[in-house]
Chains A and B, each alone.
Chain A
Amino acid sequence: MPVGAASWSFTQDDFGAITKSLERFLFDSNARCALLVDRSGQLVATVGEQPKFDPTAFATLTAADFSANDQLAKLIGENDFSSLFHQGEKESMYLADIARRVILVVLFDNRTTLGLVRLKMKQTVDELSKLFEEVFKRAGSASQPNILAGADDEIDKLFK
């Protein structure tokens, strides 16, 4: 039995690849902004127009939204809902699952359409899924240097 949830990390290179893929998606779909949030509610990346709201709070609520919908899916006999759509008068959002660990959230307004966003998102989801699967595989193989290894003294000092 695992002790708790596994820890994971991503490097500057991963970040570069994620950003590139999302920038291309935003350009193709004419959406305003894309955010990546991990399933425990932590914000991984924001690309495009910087949102005016608090992105940390947004990330937490996104993860909660997705988890609650996962459970709803199970109640009606589905494994999960791989994507969610919330429609507003001017602003809408589309959420999609990436590799069962991360959620891609796209914010868009009436400069584009849901159809175009969905269409362009499919390829991005595939790309990001591959990328994140690599990241998680690496986390599992423990080849990543542990930045906190031997930092016990520093941790003690922080909490004096």
Chain B
Amino acid sequence: MSMINYASREINCKIVYYGPGLGGKTTNLEHVYGKVSPDTRGKLISLATETERTLFFDFLPVDLGTIRGFKTRFHLYTVPGQVYYNASRKLILKGVDGIVFVADSQIERMEANQEAMQNLYDNMSEYGYDLTRMPFVIQYNKRDLPNAAPIRDLQSALNPGWEVSEASRMRVTPDPFHAGQHLVEQLGSGEWVEHAPYFDAVAVTGEGVFDTLKAVSKLVLKSLA
């Protein structure tokens, strides 16, 4: 639920990082916090357990620049990755404008990724939001690990594409971030599908963190334009 404040000339938007436990959601926020100049970001708030597992959420506000004289303020949230905390996970999705799904690339975490993705769809639809029609990007984190699954496998498990039903959107759209791949394409069966944009990342070193954030923020602002 983006909010435009004409009095303070601000556009406020909410982005939620979702994904399985220990996948690197909090690490994404920590990297942004460490890299962004202190005058364009606020405090990083963490509601975590003593063992640093997210209990309720992490929160970081950042300013990404000015458009038409309005400051664009993005509120970044993470949700707890553990299924045990689903009730609080769902609360964080309230009023969300854009979603980043942080997947753990390790082969052993494939099932956890799929469970979290299904849980995201379920929680979103309970709020009446349609994930396939809102700003949504996927980040494949931990690409540096030797047991990382190939991107192709992750894509077919987590981002196989959803059906495009509107005729106006049925045109081949190249993926601007991956040469030779498409965001919208027609399958051999004649069906049109759309994939969410995806990014490779190593959140601990910061690789891919800003590419992901920029992509989702841009989609959010474009959805308002």
Within 8 Å by CB of B95, from A15, A39, A146, A152, lies A39
Q: Give the interface segment out of B1-9, B105-113, B199-207.
A: B1-9
Q: What 1/0 mask marks residues of chain B from 1 to 22 whose CB sits below 8 Å from any chain A CB?
A: 1111111000110100000000
A7 close to B2 (CB less than 8 A): yes
Closest to A18 in B: B7
Q: Give the interface segment out of A54-62, A86-94, A105-113, A116-124.
A: A54-62
B44 to chain A, nearest CB (A): 9
Asked if A64 is an interface residue, CB under 8 A from chain B, the answer is yes
Closest to B6 in A: A11
Asked if B134 is an interface residue, CB under 8 A from chain A, the answer is yes
**B182 cross-chain contacts in A, Cβ below 8 A:** none
Asked if A3 is an interface residue, CB under 8 A from chain B, the answer is yes
Asked if A149 is an interface residue, CB under 8 A from chain B, the answer is yes
Q: Give the interface segment out of B32-40, B58-66, B158-166.
A: B58-66
A10 close to B5 (CB less than 8 A): yes
B42 close to A152 (CB less than 8 A): no
B77 to chain A, nearest CB (A): 8
Within 8 Å by CB of A64, from B5, B43, B56, B67, lies B56
Asked if B75 is an interface residue, CB under 8 A from chain A, the answer is yes
The interface size bin for chain A is 35 or more
**A76 cross-chain contacts in B, Cβ below 8 A:** none
**A8 cross-chain contacts in B, Cβ below 8 A:** 1-4
B122 to chain A, nearest CB (A): 14
* A4-B96, A64-B57, A155-B67 given; A9·B6 CB < 8 A: yes
User: When chains A and B are docked, how far (Å) is the Cα of A42 from the Cα of B15?
Assistant: 12
Within 8 Å by CB of B6, from A1, A12, A149, A154, lies A12
Asked if B45 is an interface residue, CB under 8 A from chain A, the answer is yes
B192 to chain A, nearest CB (A): 19
**A60 cross-chain contacts in B, Cβ below 8 A:** 45, 59, 75
A56 close to B61 (CB less than 8 A): yes
User: When chains A and B are docked, how far (Å) is the Cα of A64 from the Cα of B145?
Assistant: 35
B224 close to A158 (CB less than 8 A): no
Asked if B87 is an interface residue, CB under 8 A from chain A, the answer is yes
A1 close to B130 (CB less than 8 A): yes
B88 close to A5 (CB less than 8 A): no
B130 close to A67 (CB less than 8 A): no
A91 to chain B, nearest CB (A): 19
User: When chains A and B are docked, how far (Å) is the Cα of A147 from the Cα of B71?
Assistant: 12
B134 close to A44 (CB less than 8 A): no
A63 to chain B, nearest CB (A): 8
Asked if A6 is an interface residue, CB under 8 A from chain B, the answer is yes
A38 close to B225 (CB less than 8 A): no
B75 close to A41 (CB less than 8 A): yes
**Additional A-B contact list (19), CB under 8 Å, known A11-B7, A14-B7:** A1-B128, A4-B134, A4-B223, A9-B4, A9-B5, A9-B6, A10-B6, A10-B7, A12-B6, A39-B1, A42-B3, A45-B7, A63-B94, A64-B91, A146-B224, A148-B68, A149-B225, A151-B67, A151-B221
